[in-house]
Amino acid sequence: MKKHIKKWFSLDLNDKKKKDDQCGCSGGGCNSGPKETKDGYNQVFDVNMNRRQAFKKLTAGLLIGAGAANASCSVTGDDASKEKSEIEWEEYFKGNYKLMSDEERDNTVDRLVRSYELRTGSKVNLSSKDAEPDVLFGYAFNISKCQGYMDCVNACVEENNQDRDSQMQYIRIHEMNDGKGLNFGEADDTYYHEVPAAGHFYMGTQCFHCDNPPCIEVCPVEATWREKDGLVVIDYDWCIGCRYCMAACPYDGRRFNWDTPEVPEVEVNKNQHYLGNRLRKKGVMEKCTFCIQRTRNGKNPACVEACPTGSRIFGNLLDPESEIRWVLENKKVFRLKEDLGTEPKFWYFMD
Amino acid sequence: MKVFKKLVKDSIIHMTYGRRSYHIWMAVLTVLMLVGMFCYSLQLEHGLSVTGMNDRVSWGLYISNFTFLVGVAAAAVMLVLPAYILKDIDFKQAVLIGEGLAVAALFMCLAFVVADMGGPARLWHIIPFIGVFNFPNSMLTWDVLVLNGYLFINLSIPFYILYQRYQGKTPNPKIYIPGVFISVFWAVAIHLVTAFLYQGLQARPFWNNALLGPRFLASAFAAGPSLIIIALAIIRKFTDFKIEDKTIKKIALVVTVAAQINLIMLISELFKEFYAPTHHSESAYYLFFGLHGKARLVPWIWTAITMNVTATIILTFHKLRNNLNILYFACALLFIGIWIEKGFGLIVPGFIPGPWGKIVEYFPTLTEIGVTIGIWAMGAFIFSILARTGIAIELGEIKFKK
Amino acid sequence: MTSTSSIKILSCILVFLVMACKGEKEEYHNLIDKIEAKSVEYKRKSIQEQDLFDPNDLVQINENNIQFHIQNRKNKIQSFECSECHTKPVAQLQTEGLGKKAHWDVTLKHADKNTMSCLSCHKDNDMNNLQSVTGKSIDLNYSYQLCNQCHNQEVKDWAGGAHGKNLSGWQGSRVSKLCTECHDPHDPSIKKRWPSRYNSVMVSERK
């Protein structure tokens, strides 16, 4: 996974040639990384590897030194607040989640769990589970079945620890008008009356986890990327809050924390994933993750689980026997804004 | 080293002494900067919710000003080109002022970007090799590179020239001419890259057209030199720096041509949006006529267009353009008109209507306006300092005495 | 001098721009190609592994060559076996005035009188089972076969996974809800109700 990430700018002269060959539609996925015969440029840039490690060691030393100085010099602070500031210090200097080694990931999970414990006294179950092989998540939405109940929205908000003050919702349910087609401009997503109302049908939108997402291309720090199992995720601690990804998303998939998100302690979902529903902070982006904390444990996302009419279908696109594949092969499916070339993994169909 | 220290010392002495009007000007700017800093502290405390931005319109006043100022910075180099490449002596006097303006504008750009960030403490994440730099995919990274490079060029070349002049030596053309040459291309690059930031988003049809980049360049070359003309006028009045009329008139010619091209591009855009309107024209409808009863930006854009058209017409007529007072008025009109057009007339309507057609209107809050005014004051402050020092060295008021 | 240096600079910039192509292009032209290319046989977790259901509680269905499970229905019906009460034909029970016991107030709101009556589904002389149009017995656990008679398309979709509710999650061997768990066979239409949520923030934003 790491070889696909550009840690820094490198002139991938060798890689470019390989890709030109593959564009002849050989069909087979070439997963073996390019064997780099080092030419002049790569030799120069390879030196940076050592520089990064050197910097890592420097920061490690800095952290230890500063942490020790911080802890020892503070006379007034008690142990808990000293530990808190130490954790905050180390969290500030950690790197991008994609580039972390397993050990670093475990460390940051431990720090986050401990920091929550210090703040509130209760424990959370924070996972950093990786993607399973041979899995590509797909989603289908049955427009005929959706009645506009919004049970999915409620389940999503509870599952993903979203800010209650701003009523952040990843899912929007649009009340569309019969006979007007998919005219979202005239649809209403703030309705509140008995549903289904006559003359309307209902469609839900959320992040579609595109396979060619415009949002990950534009992030200047690569705080958002597409995982191997197709989920587009965000490292909340790496995001700098420039909101370029929000401008780039054609589907209104992303949400920004304009304020500090607050979830009442009793409502916090304690089963969390680092890239999923762990508690976010002010000034970072967040979005639907197909409930990564649930789906990487074999369960369906909360919205799929909650829908009483069964209009939401979820599964593994690479499993030919899955329900999602049956839908794609047997129902007349379409995706939204397909002409934009984003390849969303969220299909719509009608009975 | 000794020379450098003396230069800094002399500059500081010169910066802090002056006529009463200078002190009042600097005092006003300082007050505005403090107001801006206070507003920014509010923003740091409460997050960006103190601004008017929301999930639908996620970029507002800050990024509008950023976009506009990149153009102003790029245009400073419009004077460099004739002065050094076309060897037109008349422009040489204006070059240092232009580059000072570019530096001030660039600092303002960087300040606006930082003000707009949700997590400014994490900005180190973008530094190459230390953080992760998503180059060449992300246009923002290109922007970071070109803006900082341009800042470096615009700081180093005038510094070199002034450093030599400070010592009474003539600057060596072999050193600064290549830099000047690069800066011409670089200026075009910075504004083109900034335009590509918006142009490359297929999700926003208002921006996703081929004309955005050239439009940016045209409006930049109209607005930037206008500001330079006004700055030169002020300098002529308040210092002994000799700027000939024909220099200003030549710059005015540049402004005129750029303003005319800007109008032509505007007409092209209007035609595309309104001749055969599609779903993608909704943003233009919202901007020019209002959509479904929401029409907050309509007065702004029509004011801007009126200003631009008036200014362009005035500038087109030789008689009017060569009358310096009318020229200053027209330049001010053009500057403000383009500021509105590029800001509220471009960034905000790109987000309205949202991806699912929902209209959420935007208007900046007082905190946002406060930070903006603070940053503009900071830019004026920097420009005043640089211009004052630069002019003093050029005039020989500051000299390195052994 | 200026011309050669300018050419050098220009060519550098050109090379730079050409090299910096946009991102890593995937090897597949679109998503469907990718899915087809990367599809592999995927073993879903068995019922025992899933630990969500008691295997004894599940009934295996094999419809249109698709295998999946539903939950046992019979052991959840309160008054099964039906023959404990239904010792006489229904018509007789109704007229004999035995009183309002159990489901006396079941009204049929399913299709119309021409199409459906109680005996369309219930077997008069064997109330423990249902009956098909042709009079064959259908076990209560396989009641979908009744629905299949008229709603063939829906049952096809249900067997495929496009209709109905999944209970097992994407990774576990599939367990679906039976038709009657969502559609009351005597009144199958989906009811109106109010939404679970009111979006006050959105409403104030859009004003």
For chain B, give every domain's residue range.
2-395
Q: Determine the straight-line distance between the first and last CA of chain A, rounded to whole angstroms.
A: 39
DSSP secondary structure letter of residue C187 = B
Q: Which structural domains are found in chain A, ordered by start?
A: 2-7+39-123 (no CATH), 137-349 (3.30.70.20)
Which residues of chain A lie closer than 8 angstroms to C18, CB-CB? Answer: none
Which candidate from B119, B126, B204 shows the least CB-CB separation from A247?
A: B204
Which residues of chain A lie closer than 8 angstroms to B129, CB-CB? Answer: 8, 48, 51-52, 55
**Which segments of chain B have a pLDDT < 50?**
none
pLDDT for position A299? 92
Which candidate from A23, A29, A150 shows the least CB-CB separation from C196?
A: A150
Query: How high is the ipTM of this complex?
Result: 0.91
Please answer whether residues A140 and C162 qualify as being in contact, where contact means their C-beta atoms are separated by less than 8 angstroms: yes
Consecutive H or E run containing A120: helix A102-120
Question: What φ, ψ does residue A5 adopt, rounded to 5°?
Answer: -95, 130
A85 interfacial to chain C (CB closer than 8 Å): no
pLDDT along chain A (351 residues), means of 10: 41 39 37 41 44 58 56 63 88 90 92 90 90 93 94 94 92 93 90 92 95 94 94 94 95 94 92 92 94 93 94 94 93 94 94 86
Which residues of chain A lie closer than 8 angstroms to B198, CB-CB? Answer: 247
The 3 state secondary structure assigned to chain B is CHHHHHHHHHHHHHHHCCCHHHHHHHHHHHHHHHHHHHHHHHHHHHCHHHCCCCCCCCCCHHHHHHHHHHHHHHHHHHHHHHHHHCCCHHHHHHHHHHHHHHHHHHHHHHHHHHHHCCCHHHHHHHCCCCCCCCCCCCHHHHHHHHHHHHHHHHHHHHHHHHHHHHCCCCCCHHHHHHHHHHHHHHHHHHHHHHHHHHHCCCCCCCCCCCCHHHHHHHHHHHHHHHHHHHHHHHHHHHCCCCCCHHHHHHHHHHHHHHHHHHHHHHHHHHHHHHHCCCHHHHHHHHHHCCECCECCCHHHHHHHHHHHHHHHHHHHCHHHHHCHHHHHHHHHHHHHHHHHHHHHHHHHHHHCCCCCCCCCCCCCCHHHHHHHHHHHHHHHHHHHHHHHHHHHHHHCCCCCCC
Q: Name which of A147, A137, A156 is nearest A324 in CA terms.
A: A137
Chain-chain contact of B360 with C205 (C-beta, under 8 angstroms): yes
Sign of CA dihedral C138, C144, C147, C152: negative
Give pTM, 2 decimals: 0.85
Chain-chain contact of A219 with B357 (C-beta, under 8 angstroms): no
Neighbours of chain B (3+ CB pairs under 8 A): A, C
Both tokens of B380, joined, read 């004026």
Which candidate from C169, C182, C201 shows the least CB-CB separation from A299?
A: C169
pLDDT for position A244? 95
pLDDT for position A41? 42
- C104-138 confidence digits (pLDDT tens): 778 888 888 888 888 888 887 888 888 998 989 99
Which residues of chain C lie closer than 8 angstroms to B135, CB-CB? Answer: 20
Chain-chain contact of A327 with C201 (C-beta, under 8 angstroms): no
Classify A139 as helix, strand or coil.
Answer: strand
CA distance C52 to chain B (A): 39
C51 interfacial to chain A (CB closer than 8 Å): no
pLDDT for position C75? 79
Which residues of chain B lie closer than 8 angstroms to A8, CB-CB? Answer: 128-129, 132-133, 135
Please answer whether residues C167 and C177 qualify as being in contact, where contact means their C-beta atoms are separated by less than 8 angstroms: yes
In percent, the amount of chain C with pLDDT more than 90 equals 16
Burial class (CB in 10 A: 0-12, 13-18, 19+), C92: exposed
In percent, the amount of chain B with pLDDT more than 90 equals 60
Question: What φ, ψ does residue A28 adopt, rounded to 5°?
Answer: -75, 140
Consecutive H or E run containing A203: strand A200-205
Which residues of chain C lie closer than 8 angstroms to B137, CB-CB? Answer: 22-23
Which candidate from B119, B134, B198 shows the least CB-CB separation from A220?
A: B134
pLDDT at C6 over 90: no
pLDDT for position B341? 93
Neighbours of chain C (3+ CB pairs under 8 A): A, B
Q: What CATH number belongs to B2-395?
A: 1.20.1630.10
- C146-162 confidence digits (pLDDT tens): 999 999 999 999 999 99
Please answer whether residues A37 and A5 qualify as being in contact, where contact means their C-beta atoms are separated by less than 8 angstroms: no
Q: Name which of A311, A319, A313, A309 is nearest A301 in CA terms.
A: A313
Q: Name which of A151, A195, A201 is nearest A180 in CA terms.
A: A201
- In this structure, which amino acid lies at residue A301? P
Chain-chain contact of C205 with B56 (C-beta, under 8 angstroms): yes
A48 interfacial to chain B (CB closer than 8 Å): yes
pLDDT for position C21? 45
Which candidate from A187, A205, A222 shows the least CB-CB separation from B134?
A: A222
Which candidate from A223, A256, A341 shows the least CB-CB separation from B55?
A: A256
B140 interfacial to chain C (CB closer than 8 Å): no
pLDDT for position B89? 66
Q: Up-side HSE of residue B101: CA atoms within 13 Å toward CB?
A: 28
CA distance B50 to chain A (A): 8
Chain-chain contact of C163 with A310 (C-beta, under 8 angstroms): yes
Question: What φ, ψ does residue A33 adopt, rounded to 5°?
Answer: -65, 155
Q: Where are the beta strands (DSSP E) in A91-167?
A: 125-127, 137-142
B5 interfacial to chain C (CB closer than 8 Å): no
Q: Name which of A236, A291, A261 is nearest A112 in CA terms.
A: A236
Both tokens of B94, joined, read 């204006």
CA dist B210 and B117 (Å) reads 28
